[in-house]
């Protein structure tokens, strides 16, 4: 299980969303390697935020138009927020996987943070600036 909080700043004029910080707690039972658990969850959070903010396959009436990585937008290192991961180690429990526990909660936490910041309810991704302007 993973709980995630995303702190955002929304420019009310442009709708531009900046992610300031992400905090997550993960319970994977017995954590055999706490650094490995934290790294896996952090990677999933960053990937999910990239999906939610900007990634999108583009197409026209005939075909997919996003054919290479050059024109495909992803979250770059200079836009990556600080991420704090707290691993709950429960040695009395069986170890569980954490490969994909952060993707869903990270996107949901981002959308809810935007709503809290400016009142825009996000119902479609990617989260383009025009979607996060105050209503």
CA dist 92 and 11 (Å) reads: 46
Nearest to 84 by CA among 3, 2, 133, 23: 23
Domain of 97: which CATH number? 3.30.365.10
Q: Please provide residue 69's backbone torsions phi and psi, each rounded to the nearest 5 degrees.
A: -80, -15
Residue 110: which domain range? 2-131
Distance of CA 12 to the CA centre of its chain: 21
Classified as helix, coil or strand, 17 is strand
pLDDT tens digit at each of 135 positions of the chain = 899 999 999 999 999 999 999 999 999 999 999 999 999 999 999 999 999 999 988 899 999 998 888 878 899 889 899 999 999 999 999 999 898 899 999 999 999 999 999 998 888 899 988 777 766
Annotate 51-86 with b (16+ C-beta within 10 A) or e (fewer): bbbbbeeeeeeeeeeeeeeeeeeebeeeeebebebe
Q: How many structural domains does the chain have?
A: 1
Question: Which pLDDT value is given to residue 135?
Answer: 60
Question: Which pLDDT value is given to residue 134?
Answer: 64
Residue in this structure with the two tokens 């960053």, named with its chain if needed: 46
SS3 of 26-78: the string is EECCCCCCHHHHHHHHHHHHHHHHHHHHCCCCCECCCCECCCCCCCCCCCCHH
Q: Using an 8 Å Cβ cutoff, are 95 and 34 in contact?
A: no
């Amino acid at each position: 299980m993973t709980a995630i909080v995303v702190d955002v700043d929304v420019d009310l004029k442009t709708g531009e969303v900046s992610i300031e910080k992400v905090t997550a707690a993960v319970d994977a039972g017995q954590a055999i390697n706490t650094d490995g658990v934290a790294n896996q969850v952090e990677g999933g959070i960053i990937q999910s935020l990239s999906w939610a903010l900007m990634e999108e396959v583009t197409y026209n009436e005939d075909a997919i138009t996003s054919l290479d990585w050059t024109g495909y937008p992803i979250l770059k290192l200079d836009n990556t927020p600080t991420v704090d991961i707290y691993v709950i180690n429960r040695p009395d429990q069986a170890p569980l996987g954490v490969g994909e526990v952060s993707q869903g909660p990270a996107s949901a936490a981002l959308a809810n943070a935007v709503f809290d910041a400016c009142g825009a309810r996000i119902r479609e991704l990617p989260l383009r600036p025009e979607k996060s302007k105050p209503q």
